[in-house]
A and B are shown apart, each in its own frame.
Chain A
Amino acid sequence: MVFNILNEPILAITSYKMRRRAGVGAIQRQKIQQDKFKEKGSEIQENQLEQMTLQMEKFREKLEEFAAKHKTEIKKNPQFRKQFQEMCASIGVDPLASGKGFWCEMLGVGDFYYELGVQIVELCVATSHRNGGVISLEEALRRLNHRRRQDNQISTDDLVRAVKKLRVLGSGMEVVATGSSQFIYSIPGELSMDHTTLLQHAENVGHMTVSSAASNLGWTQERVGRTVDHLLRIGVAWRDDQDRPPTYWFPAFFQQCTTAE
């Protein structure tokens, strides 16, 4: 018997009948060959993956070391904190993911954002009676930092992350960018696209009439009316009847309100 490179016996062609059988055999052999190559390919792939996983593990270890060493820095410096978060994100690590595990316990990073989240909720609850549950990121930042020690200030990035975490917990809070600024919405129930579009417009103009909004947004007056009605009901919009026609104002975008004590 003669064997080829793939350890298969080679059939000697001796007759026509045998040739035919060899044709079929060739196809079979080709398939087996392909399978073997595939297997080899997977083996290489697997190897590469294993290598990469090992690398990632090493990187992760280094990151943990780094985090432990600079724990204080992370807690105190918003810029540093942001960069650290981004480093973590790049390898798929989420320091805030769970209440257990190295990241949370060692660093207390989870605690930091958890506490911040609580403060944000408190602030929203305290101010919602006058702004209807809409507060600008800028105002929230100013008020929260006012309460904190000078060496323990937070950044916009911290706020956005904390609110994102709150959202995951199902708190109904979210950061929405309307117009040129960002706002934290803590309104029970969802705001529709129409509501946020109108609010975006409101942020630009300060106050509006139904017809001015309709012409600026290209909506029917009825659509504006419906949208404004909802915002009136939740206290995000207030009506001024001493203007003809009535105008609608928004405490969340009213300068004296956002800077009041």
Chain B
Amino acid sequence: TTTTTMTGFEWPWQYSFPPFFTLQPNADVRRTQLDAWCALVVSWGRNNNVSQIDVTEASSLPVFKNPSISRSLPADSIMVVLEELAKRGNLEWMDKTKRRGYLFWRSPAEWGQQIYTWAQATSHINSVCTLYEISQGDDTINQ
């Protein structure tokens, strides 16, 4: 069973799994774990309208802890997750100090893919559009 918040957000099974809050020693397993963490942070961010993350406050974000199993992701592990998000284009550091970052629910690459697919579907390939046309135009009413 997954636990849901009032906003209907469904936590993935890993969130109830105590070892999920410990970075796993094996590289392959860790990669899978980070995949799950990144997906979780992005979907939680989208669901809760969180578009910025401050490293010093990150430990208090609900996404990084689960009180029902008394587990929370340690600060240095949070940093690893954030760095991973940055690598995937879902986080952009505001400056070199890496204290705050913008959280992108869709990475630029994903946006690119979305727009390209839309362009194909509406026959806009090789033409020029304004941002307004893309986001508000007649062809995008249902997108």
A: residues with CB less than 8 A from B are 129-130, 132, 207, 232-235, 238-243, 247-249, 251, 254, 256-257, 259-260
Residue of B whose beta carbon sits closest to that of A243: B18
B 20-34 to A, binary, CB cutoff 8 A, 1 in contact else 0: 111011101100100
Which 6 A/B pairs are nearest by Cβ-Cβ distance? Answer: A238-B19, A256-B13, A260-B13, A240-B19, A241-B22, A235-B29
Residue of A whose beta carbon sits closest to that of B36: A130
Name the distance in Å between B77's Cβ and chain A's nearest Cβ.
Answer: 10
**Do A249 and B17 contact each other (CB < 8 Å), given the known contacts A235-B26, A260-B12?**
yes
Residues of B within 8 A of A232 (CB): 24-26, 29
**Do A242 and B17 contact each other (CB < 8 Å), given the known contacts A130-B32, A232-B29?**
no
Residues of A within 8 A of B26 (CB): 232-235
User: Measured between alpha carbons, how far is A130 from B1 in the docked complex, in Å?
Assistant: 17
Choose one: A238, A240, A254; the contact of B13 (CB below 8 Å): A254
Name the distance in Å between B13's Cβ and chain A's nearest Cβ.
Answer: 4
Residues of A within 8 A of B20 (CB): 238
Residue of A whose beta carbon sits closest to that of B72: A242
Residues of B within 8 A of A238 (CB): 17, 19-20, 22, 24, 29
Q: Is B71 an interface residue (CB 8 A)?
A: yes
Within 8 A of A (CB), among B5-49: 12-14, 16-22, 24-26, 28-29, 32
7 contacts between A and B (CB under 8 A): A232-B24, A233-B26, A233-B29, A248-B19, A249-B17, A256-B2, A259-B1
Name the distance in Å between A235's Cβ and chain B's nearest Cβ.
Answer: 4
Choose one: A132, A207, A242, A248; the contact of B71 (CB below 8 Å): A242
User: Measured between alpha carbons, how far is A167 from B14 in the docked complex, in Å?
Assistant: 31
Residue of A whose beta carbon sits closest to that of B24: A238
Interface majority SS on A: helix, strand, loop or mixed?
Answer: mixed
Residue of B whose beta carbon sits closest to that of A256: B13
Name the distance in Å between B18's Cβ and chain A's nearest Cβ.
Answer: 4
Name the distance in Å between A178's Cβ and chain B's nearest Cβ.
Answer: 20
Choose one: B12, B13, B18; the contact of A247 (CB below 8 Å): B18
Choose one: B12, B16, B25; the contact of A239 (CB below 8 Å): B25
Residues of B within 8 A of A249 (CB): 17-19
Residues of B within 8 A of A130 (CB): 14, 32
Among B2, B13, B25, B70, find the residue whose CB has the most chain A CB atoms closer than 10 A. B13
Residues of A within 8 A of B12 (CB): 260
Among B19, B28, B70, B72, find the residue whose CB has the most chain A CB atoms closer than 10 A. B19
Residue of A whose beta carbon sits closest to that of B27: A233
User: Measured between alpha carbons, how far is A21 from B16 in the docked complex, in Å?
Assistant: 99
Within 8 A of A (CB), among B64-82: 70-72
**Do A240 and B2 contact each other (CB < 8 Å), given the known contacts A129-B32, A235-B28, A256-B13?**
no
Since A239-B25, A242-B70, A256-B13 are in contact, a sample of 19 more A-B pairs with Cβ atoms closer than 8 Å, ordered by chain A residue number, is A132-B29, A207-B18, A235-B29, A238-B17, A238-B19, A240-B19, A240-B22, A240-B71, A242-B18, A242-B71, A247-B18, A247-B19, A249-B17, A249-B19, A256-B2, A257-B13, A257-B14, A259-B1, A259-B13
